[in-house]
């Protein structure tokens, strides 16, 4: 049980899932790790709870009885930027891409590993609490100065093309978040390029060649197979 005096500072998680056993499992897991937990069994109830509780993070199932999970997500995104992690048995690429394009921050497939889920939650919360004015992103030997538009590795400036820098900026501003091919192609080349994943693959390869110690085993720019990419912070 959580101490009463700690509840005011504990992060608030809202679980929107129609399966009672999943809601119970998540409540036990999250409360044991310092969260205050509220839950809802329908999409409409989840939207109301989100407005009332103002959660720090939302765990959202796609298969709800009244509204599609993606529809719930779209409605939330009309007024809230709360981190949303999809938690679903659906593991198709189309479902993942649709949810991420609609504004989800991450996607975890059921059955899930509790340790991995908790790590994803911590990442989502860190992202949401980062000050918007953070202008220098650092990870390992890499430094991206967004205000000066300068990228360094081992203290030496790395020359990037305009498109490479645009994609890198998008990745580091959204560090920890999965970005879909559509989102990155639109940023790099505009909406008419959304089907040209080969463009993106080539430029990501160039970025890895310039920034990773081993481009074949990247630690900074990670691939989400058939979905997109994410940038992560790592320690040397």
Please, what CATH class does the domain formed by 4-129 belong to?
alpha beta
User: How far lies 187's CA from each of 71, 95, 97, 167, in Å?
Assistant: 24, 22, 16, 7
Other CB atoms closer than 10 Å to residue 62's CB: what's the count? 23
Output Rg (C-alpha) for the chain, integer angstroms.
Answer: 19
Please, what CATH class does the domain formed by 136-231 belong to?
mainly alpha
E strand intervals along 119-220: 136-139, 142-145, 150-153, 156-157, 179-180
Q: What is the pLDDT of residue 37?
A: 97
Extents of the domains making up the chain: 4-129, 136-231
Q: What is the pLDDT of residue 4?
A: 37
pLDDT averaged over consecutive 10-residue blocks of the chain (236 residues)? 54 97 96 97 95 95 94 91 93 90 92 93 84 75 91 96 93 90 87 84 96 96 94 82
Secondary structure (3-state) at 217: coil
């Amino acid at each position: 049980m959580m101490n009463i005096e700690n509840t005011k500072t504990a992060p608030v998680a809202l679980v929107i899932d129609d399966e009672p056993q999943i809601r119970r499992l998540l409540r036990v897991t999250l409360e044991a790790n310092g969260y205050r937990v509220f839950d809802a069994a329908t999409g409409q109830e989840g939207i109301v709870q989100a407005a009332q509780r103002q959660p720090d993070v939302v765990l959202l199932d796609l298969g709800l009885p009244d509204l599609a999970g993606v529809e719930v997500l779209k409605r939330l995104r009309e007024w809230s930027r709360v981190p949303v992690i999809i938690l679903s048995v659906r593991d198709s690429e189309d479902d993942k891409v649709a949810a991420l394009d609609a504004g989800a921050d991450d996607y975890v497939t059921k059955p899930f590993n509790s340790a991995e889920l908790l790590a994803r939650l911590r990442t989502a919360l860190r992202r949401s609490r980062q000050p918007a004015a953070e202008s220098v992103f650092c990870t390992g030997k890499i430094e991206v100065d967004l205000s000066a538009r300068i990228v360094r590795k081992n203290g030496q400036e790395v020359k990037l093309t305009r498109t490479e820098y645009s994609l890198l900026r998008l990745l580091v501003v959204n560090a920890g978040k999965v970005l879909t091919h559509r989102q990155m192609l639109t940023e790099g080349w505009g909406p008419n390029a959304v089907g040209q994943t080969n463009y993106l693959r080539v430029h990501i390869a160039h970025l890895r060649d310039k920034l990773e110690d081993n481009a074949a085993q990247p630690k900074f720019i990670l691939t989400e197979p058939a979905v997109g990419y994410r940038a992560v912070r790592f320690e040397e």
